[in-house]
């Protein structure tokens, strides 16, 4: 009997007992479903972290100097107390870095805050992401201007109250009117709109387009931070190869400025996108090891259920097996028939699980800010696991069926 015939026979058998077959593979379905869903979400997160998140927070090939790490997972309150005792980063720090770097690089300061904004038309928006920055920030962060222009270094140095709006902010404040040349007010300070940024989309469900960017030394600087203080200094070397050297330079400059002695720890944080990914890599590694482990427990249970159902099925079909043996079926024929049936059953379960898992991943993606990326490799893994579980679960029932004595089997009811 060929494998194909065996599979067709198995499908017939499964079709004849749909409900029983379904319950037999429920464990496999659920195991596979969760595997695919979780792996898809984790992979989606991963892609997101690599492509968008790290880039958005730190910028690609950019070194960030700040008082404390941008992302910290420490649960120790002492750590945070120590962070708060650290000196703030200042414009002078940025100037010192710009002067002291040994490699060519863009240097910019940046500070964030949130606040309301009112247009000259009297329309108000709440919670706009306000940024005070150097002119080079636009280049470091790859922020493209859709309309108008970005501000210049001379405008920054002079503290000219000009502002670049996010796409969403501009359209809300001015509707279909041309915003260029019009004015907006932020906490009483008036700015002249000179540009509108290109649409950026959202990050974890938060809009990246409801924002405004003004020179750090304009009134915006005072609105987002105390005078002379900045959130961070961004350094982007012209050559990616200079990243390491630039980091060394920044650390040396800052240690001198903060008068740290040899043994003292840095009281500032120097981070890059690549480094920030390490925390996520750790989470991902744990998930990718732990989750398949949990799933394999589900599959073991699923396998035991399949084995039991196959044992019942073989017992129910004792007479059929007797007939087949009388007509010339060898042990191997019966063995293969039962194994193929068990493997086919389990494979169908796995396929069903994959289908449900993919749908579930899409639902998770639609209903939450978590992105999902279906990994074809894991589908392959699921299919192989399904077949393996079926074959392993079928071994004992198959051996029992193959060993049946035809005389006894033919007498069975």
Partner 1 sequence: MSTPVIRTQGLTKEYVLGAETVRALRDVDLTIERNEYIAIMGPSGSGKSTFMNLIGCLDTPTAGQYWLDGTPVSGLVDDELARIRNHYIGFVFQTFNLLPRATALHNVELPLIYAGISKKERIERAVDVLEKVGLGDRMEHKPSELSGGQRQRVAVARALVNRPSLLLADEPTGNLDSKTSTDIMALFDELHAGGQTIMVVTHEHDIALHAHRTVTLRDGIIETDVTNDRALAAAGSAPAR
For partner 1, the closer CB: 232 or 324? 324
- Nearest approach in angstroms of CB 329 to partner 1 is 5
Q: Which of 3, 19, 206, 327 binds partner 1 (CB under 8 A)?
A: 327
- By the rule CB under 8 A, 17 interacts with partner 1: no
- By the rule CB under 8 A, 20 interacts with partner 1: no
Q: Which of 203, 333, 373, 374 binds partner 1 (CB under 8 A)?
A: 333
Q: Which of 228, 330, 363, 368 binds partner 1 (CB under 8 A)?
A: 330
- By the rule CB under 8 A, 256 interacts with partner 1: no
Rg of the chain over Cα atoms, rounded to whole angstroms, equals 32
**Contacts to partner 1 from residues 296-325, by CB under 8 A:** 319-320, 322-325
- Nearest approach in angstroms of CB 311 to partner 1 is 20
- By the rule CB under 8 A, 118 interacts with partner 1: no
Which x/- pattern, by CB under 8 A, does the window 392-411 give for partner 1? --------------xx--x-
- By the rule CB under 8 A, 1 interacts with partner 1: yes
For partner 1, the closer CB: 391 or 410? 410
- Provide the token pair at 226: 């105390």
For partner 1, the closer CB: 178 or 316? 316
d(CA 225, CA 113): 8
For partner 1, the closer CB: 121 or 407? 407
* Residues 6+ positions from 20 with CB-CB distance below 8 Å: 309
Q: Which of 16, 99, 263, 366 binds partner 1 (CB under 8 A)?
A: 16
Is there a contact between 242 and 107 (Cβ–Cβ < 8 Å)? no
For partner 1, the closer CB: 150 or 322? 322
- Provide the token pair at 127: 């919670």
* Count of residues touching partner 1 (by CB under 8 A): 21
d(CA 205, CA 376): 26
For partner 1, the closer CB: 138 or 329? 329
Q: Which of 20, 139, 149, 332 binds partner 1 (CB under 8 A)?
A: 332
- Nearest approach in angstroms of CB 340 to partner 1 is 14
Binding site for partner 1 (CB under 8 A): 1, 5, 12, 16, 319-320, 322-333, 406-407, 410
């Amino acid at each position: 009997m060929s494998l194909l015939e065996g599979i067709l026979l198995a499908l017939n058998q499964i079709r004849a007992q749909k409900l029983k077959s379904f319950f037999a593979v429920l464990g496999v379905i659920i195991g596979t479903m969760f595997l695919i869903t979780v792996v898809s979400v984790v992979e989606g997160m991963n892609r997101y972290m690599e492509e968008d998140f790290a880039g958005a927070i730190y910028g690609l090939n950019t070194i960030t100097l700040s008082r404390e790490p941008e992302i910290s997972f420490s649960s120790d309150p002492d750590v945070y107390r120590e962070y708060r005792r650290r000196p703030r980063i200042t414009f002078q720090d940025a100037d010192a870095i710009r002067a002291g770097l040994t490699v060519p690089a863009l240097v910019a300061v940046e500070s964030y805050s949130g606040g309301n904004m009112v247009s000259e038309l009297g329309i108000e928006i709440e919670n706009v992401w306000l940024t005070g920055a150097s002119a080079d920030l636009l280049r470091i962060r790859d922020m493209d201007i859709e309309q108008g222009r970005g501000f210049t270094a001379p405008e920054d140095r002079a503290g000219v109250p000009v502002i670049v709006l996010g796409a969403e902010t501009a359209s809300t404040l001015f509707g279909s009117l041309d915003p260029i040349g019009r004015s907006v007010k932020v906490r009483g300070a008036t700015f002249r709109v000179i540009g509108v940024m290109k649409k950026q989309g959202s990050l974890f469900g938060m809009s990246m387009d409801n924002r405004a960017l003004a020179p750090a030394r304009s009134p915006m600087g005072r609105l987002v931070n105390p005078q002379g203080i900045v959130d961070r200094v961004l350094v982007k070397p012209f050559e990616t190869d200079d990243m390491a050297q630039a980091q060394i330079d920044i650390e040396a400059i800052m240690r001198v400025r903060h008068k740290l002695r040899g043994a003292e720890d840095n009281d500032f944080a120097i981070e890059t996108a690549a480094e920030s990914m390490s925390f996520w890599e750790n989470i991902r590694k744990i998930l990718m090891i732990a989750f398949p482990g949990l799933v394999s427990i589900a599959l073991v249970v699923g396998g035991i259920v399949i084995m039991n159902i196959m044992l019942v099925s073989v017992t129910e079909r004792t007479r059929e097996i007797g007939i087949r043996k009388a007509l010339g079926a060898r042990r191997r024929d019966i063995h293969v028939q039962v194994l193929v049936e068990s493997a086919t059953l389990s494979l169908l379960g796995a396929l069903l699980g994959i289908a449900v898992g993919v749908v579930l991943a899409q639902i998770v993606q639609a209903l939450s800010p978590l992105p999902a990326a279906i990994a074809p490799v894991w589908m392959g893994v699921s299919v192989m696991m399904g077949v393996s579980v079926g074959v392993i679960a079928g071994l004992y029932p198959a051996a029992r069926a193959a060993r049946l004595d035809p005389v006894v089997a033919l007498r069975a009811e």
